[in-house]
Structure 1
């Protein structure tokens, strides 16, 4: 059963009150009824099992019958810095990387980025991406929703990426260093950054700039993958190694 994300303010003294768009989703799309048991999660990584007692036009209420918190774990936090691609491909990538445990997405503007949106459109784009991530996180029963950043120039992101333990650049010209080799070559990381280029790949100058900032170029194998497929493949390897 999906976990529906709410603000912790929605729960008070073991009572849940939900208003806003989630009501329309639960009432209209899912057709939930009074008496059903649902799971809700808040920003504090706390989950509530709630028995609904009212499903009205503008609000849903219920009694909290169980509460649990996220088990202590040593999950690796993965930032995917992915060049902006066409809308349907970006949406698919975001949905699947959310399911695979991505912590945050940084949409990149690179030299070969095909999609160029005006700065005034960035807010709307991020809102749409957040909705996609939210729905995917609910379906995957995650404890959190990935953070979605505004589109950022590659050079700016590189300047701000000093805190990552492992920095990876997926590069079609790399033929020797495989991703699993890098992941197994040192202590367990806590923060990983993955750079994924646009349809035409990163330029040599961009790769050189990333290397100067500590990024290692890695290959996922002999086949040429779409950029969004590369992101999924890399996350799958990371999940296999550390989860």
Structure 2
């Protein structure tokens, strides 16, 4: 069944109530997908609310009559990606693909080796742009919950926050002993996970030591050195895979 996203749906909708479809969505539904009266689709709001509706149109407007409603809880554990700010437009790719593979929150991280320098005005535009990219990616991936893109934080503040998670992992190219699977197998219950990925050039020794001081584990992503835009996608994919195959996360 097709999924469509409508803003402001909320949870207080009644069976039999009619939902109005915007002009843009109506064009896509009627003219592109060739759906119309009597067809059933799902309306989502990106906050977990899902309504099964029957389309009803009169040529002037398109409505959806609610047949069923449900709430889909967020998948556990919630994954936060602390991503070292990269050069150019690489952050757009990271945001898009991280949303696809299952991240719940992204915190752009200003590291010692981060090259981009933003003022408050330009960073506000960047974050707004990244949020739009993430929302688009969530729609394409049919995610029930959109993710949050936070304003950038300096690396030391991010590493301090790492101690608040059930599990926090910093990926470090000089780490050779520990991999995601061995770390996950040591944990019984996880509700929140933080992943730390550095910018081009990786983390400094000071940042790694600060991470360890706050209980953040260091891990390797393998023998090859990965690009900063590749590393988070590999890390999240491996994490999600291991969690889904671990007892309690089937």
TM-score tier by shorter-chain length is 0.7 to 0.9
The answer to whether residue 47 in structure 2 is matched with residue 47 in structure 1 is: no
Equivalent in the alignment of 1:88: 89
2: CA distance, partners of 1:181 / 1:189: 15
TM-score normalised over the length of structure 1: 0.86
Match for 1:69 among 63, 68, 71? 71
Flag structure 1 segments of 5+ consecutive residues without an equivalent: none
1:2 CA drift (Å) = 4.2
Is 2:139 the partner of 1:138?
yes
Query: What TM-score do the two structures reach when normalised by structure 2?
Result: 0.84
- Structure 1 residue 6 displacement after superposition: 2.5
Give the whole-Å Cα distance in 2 for the aligned partners of 1:175 and 1:66: 51
**Deviation at 1:216?**
1.1
Change in Cα spacing, 1:88 to 1:55, as seen in structure 2 (3 Å) is farther
User: Alpha-carbon deviations, 1:128-180, whole Å to 9, x = none?
Assistant: 11111111111211110111101111112223333201110011111111121
- TM-fit CA distance, 1:4: 1.7
Partner of 1:122: 123
Shift of 1:5: 4.8
With over 3 angstroms needed to count, the CA separation of the structure-2 counterparts of 1:79 and 1:10, relative to structure 1, is: closer
**SS at 2:230 equivalent:** helix
Task: Choose from 16, 19, 29 the match for 1:16.
Answer: 19
Please name the residue that 2:104 is paired with: 103
Equivalent pair of 2:50/2:69 in contact (CA under 8 Å) = yes
When the two structures are aligned, how many residues end up with a matched partner?
Answer: 238
In structure 2, the partner of 1:27 is 27
Question: Is the CA contact (8 Å cut-off) linking 2:51 and 2:67 kept in structure 1?
Answer: yes
Cα 1:191–1:137 shift into 2, 3 Å: same
The SS at the match of 2:162 is: coil
Indicate the RMSD between aligned Cα atoms, in angstroms: 2.6
Q: Distance in 2 between matches of 1:87 and 1:52?
A: 44
The runs of 5 or more residues in structure 2 that have no matched partner are 245-250
- Structure 1 residues 212-223: aligned runs within 5 Å: 212-223=213-224
1:52–1:133 CA distance, 2 compared to 1 (3 A): same
Deviates more, 1:41-50 or 1:141-150: 41-50
